[in-house]
Structure 1
């Protein structure tokens, strides 16, 4: 088995293996090189996922229970990453000023730990959609340079996916007849 096939099998097992099944992260839509999926364990948080021939993956998604967005990225080559440890990283889109923050090592499987970073939802997603390349640096050294080809369309579908789930969730909320909000069906509301 070549490294590329091994990587795809590894990523498949990470996202659909013992920690999660395909049912827990169903495919919403494929947009070019990007998959838009729904993470049911994050209360229907939508995310985009790209896998690269270099053995690296990149995930950008929403975490509705917390109300933020996150990125997750990793590589089979990064065996020394420690679960729970924080790493100060810089992220740069094209030649823009870099973002910096502490990413946390997240154990995805016995063989792979990725980095997870909470990001400013609107600004980060806007940059992700507008730019061509994302560069990740650690200790002043470039550790990954990833193409964002098709990220505008993938980002639009990500936003559509999350809007659909948020709208559906809001429609399912029951109206409290004892609240102070006016409800024509409730004679006791004001």
Structure 2
């Protein structure tokens, strides 16, 4: 058995219509590809993710996260019928991609009072987790030996490719902003400032 470590608590929030309409901490859309949404999430270190909605509020979300303690990959399963989930409680589960070996994990539950968000999220630092996801036709989730989710991953290769493109562009933009911020010299001479009491005036 392979092991995926316990996750961060992630809000499986509704998709926003546009970057302009979204609060600063809401996901920013990158696009839709092969039936998957690709977005960037400021709340997990400006990392991108993919999400696919199936029916009756069932969806999965896979992406990267970055925080003070490190970075990795997470996968969330959401099903409104999982009403007995307890918020923030950890549940021992197993995840399987196609015919690959099972990943054992402790999944963190996220429950909101909206009758929609009933999610289990796992995370790992193992890149082969992502590789199996994008090269498999299905993903299954097991709890206490019982299969509780069996979802198609059709279109995942294209979605993950676009997720990586989203991340590359996001990092480029952030690096440019960081460089511009570092280039600003608060002590540089400004011809428009001629105050006689300016001790730093050249």
- TM normalised by structure 2 equals 0.72
Deviation for aligned residue 1:109: 4.1
**Structure 2 CA distance for aligned equivalents of residues 161 and 14 of structure 1:** 19
* CA deviation map 1:128-183 (0-9, x unaligned): 11110001100000000000000000010011111211232233334979xxxxxx
Residue 14 of structure 2: SS of its match in structure 1? helix
Where structure 2 has 5 or more consecutive residues not aligned to the other structure, the ranges are 1-11, 184-202
Equivalence for 2:38: 36
Partner of 1:84: 88
Q: Distance in 1 between matches of 2:169 and 2:13?
A: 26
Question: Secondary structure at the residue paired with 2:60?
Answer: strand
- Of 85, 97, 120, 1:93 maps to 97
Structure 1 stretch 41-50 or stretch 91-100: which is displaced more? 41-50
CA-CA distance at 1:22 after TM superposition? 5.7
Cα pair 2:81 2:118 within 8 Å, conserved: no
1:37-90 deviation digits (Å, cap 9, x = unpaired): 111222322110101125411000111224222111110110001111000110
Aligned length: 162
Structure 1 residues 32, 165: closer, same or farther in 2, change over 3 A? same
* Larger-Rg structure: 2
SS state of the match for residue 173, structure 1?
A: helix
Indicate whether 1:125 and 2:127 are aligned: no
Describe how 1:47-126 pairs up with structure 2 within 5 A: 47-53=49-55, 55-65=57-67, 66-111=70-115, 112-126=117-131
Structure 1 regions of 5+ residues with no counterpart? 1-12, 178-190
- Please state if 1:46 is matched with 2:45: no
Q: Distance in 1 between matches of 2:47 and 2:80?
A: 25
Q: Which has the higher contact order (CA 8 A, sep 6+)?
A: 2
